[in-house]
Amino acid sequence: MSYPDNFLRGVSDKNSLTPDGVGVSAGAFHFDLSKISNGWLEQSICWEDNDSVVDLMLRQKKEDGVIQFKIGVVRVPRSCVQYINKLPQTRELLSYERKELDDNPYHGNLLLKKDAHNFTRRLVAAMIAAHVVDVINQEHILD
Amino acid sequence: MMNNHKLGDATTNNLAKEENWCLGEKEFGALGRESNVFSEFRDDTTGRGFKKLFIADEVYRIVKPALKGVSEIKVRNVAKQATDIISDIMELIINLQSWNVDIISRIPPLHAVALEDNSFLIEWIFSKYRIGFVLERNKRESMWYMVSTIDGNDLASGMLSRTDYKKLLAGLIPFVFGYS
């Protein structure tokens, strides 16, 4: 299966960004212990297969009609996964997948081994956040 | 102009020695400012009532977002850990500011966010690296990290409970100064 160079993560909490809108908190990438599948913790992302994915994410709405990612989306290079997997503290703990949804063919997951220690989960989140290359806020949406 | 800032219900022992926290006229003058910030902390653990703390504007600018975040912490033990760290960082910056006052103005604010699992994250976020403190409900699991995207300078981390915490901060703060 092929993957693009970057993935996108939606941001719905204003506290996930620094006030200047440039820095991204590691909190935006913390793995939820309740989202487990086949031995992996899942963190929802979208693969940036083409230029329309950002727009699709920014327009995405929840069931109640409210915008899903109120703050915007952040772009992360896929290469960060290999980078993190080579570090002694986080070796071979991280993976990814495509998991298309009916209304989102770009959807996928970052995957962290479910038995990873809490300490390691925090580290991985911080490492991913450190690799964010772009913050695209809701003002970028094309009307 | 004097502003009054109160740190909610959070408590701290570290503020007990308030004489260590007051910026005297000399230090205040070194900042080249005519105003200062007046902050007030309640120390429930000692029952000694309110502690008064003077922080120069620039130092307050750095810690203000983190202090604001503390008010959102739901777990008292986590709030205590957070105020301790923020207090110690303030103390170190105040003590170091005589090096070069201009550097302080380049230090980004501490970012803080309450996580869904009731832990609390304090981070200093720079373009190429970040320093973080994750404060857990179980204090023994609270941790620190320094993460970088620069090859060969990737990662340092540890449990706060197993670290000479004061020495750690004393090492990290000059690093922040050096890279700001």
Q: Which of B36, B135, B129, B156 is nearest to B83 (CA)?
A: B135
Domain membership of residue A24 (yes or no) is: yes
pLDDT at B45: 56
Domain membership of residue A67 (yes or no) is: yes
* Chain A touched by B149 (CB under 8 Å): yes
Q: Which of A48, A34, A18 is nearest to A108 (CA)?
A: A48
Note whether ipTM > 0.85 here.
Answer: yes
Which residue bears the tokens 């403190």? Answer: B133
Query: Around Cβ A97, how many Cβ atoms within 10 Å?
Result: 17
In whole numbers, what is the pLDDT of chain B averaged over residues? Answer: 71
Q: Give B152 or B91, the one with higher predicted confidence.
A: B91
β-strands B120-125, B111-114: how paired? antiparallel
Joined tokens for residue A1: 């299966």
Alpha-carbon span B93 to B87, nearest angstrom: 10
Interface of A with B (CB under 8 A): 13, 15-16, 18-19, 23-27, 30, 32-33, 87, 89-90, 118-119, 122-123, 126-127, 129-131
pLDDT at B176: 78
pLDDT band at B116 (very low <50, low <70, confident <90, very high): confident
Of residues A19, A30, A119, nearest to B115 (C-beta): A30
- Region B162-170: mean pLDDT is 81
Which tens digits make up the pLDDT trace of B125-165?
988 889 999 999 999 999 999 998 876 666 889 999 888 87
Count: domains in chain A = 1
Cα angle for residues A84, A86, A89 (degrees, 5° grid) = 75
* Structural domain range at position A46: 6-140
Joined tokens for residue A18: 């620094």
Q: Please determine, for residue A4, whether its predicted confidence score (pLDDT) is greater than 80.
A: yes
Q: Taking a C-beta distance cutoff of 8 angstroms, is the pair A52, A63 a contact? A: no
Alpha-carbon span B60 to B109, nearest angstrom: 9
pLDDT band at B95 (very low <50, low <70, confident <90, very high): confident
Domain membership of residue A1 (yes or no) is: no
pLDDT at A12: 94
* Chain A touched by B158 (CB under 8 Å): no
For residues B160, B161, B163 and B165, what is the CA-based torsion angle, rounded to 10 degrees?
70
Alpha-carbon span A65 to B52, nearest angstrom: 48
Q: Is the pTM of this model over 0.95?
A: no
Residue B152 backbone class (left: φ over 0; alpha: ψ -120 to 50; beta: rest) = left
Q: Give A59 or B33, the one with higher predicted confidence.
A: A59
Domain membership of residue A28 (yes or no) is: yes
Q: Which of A9, A3, A4, A1 is nearest to A76 (CA)?
A: A9
Joined tokens for residue A26: 């590691």
Q: Please determine, for residue B12, whether its predicted confidence score (pLDDT) is greater than 80.
A: no
Of residues A18, A25, A89, nearest to B121 (C-beta): A25
In whole numbers, what is the pLDDT of chain A averaged over residues? Answer: 93
- Region A115-134: mean pLDDT is 95
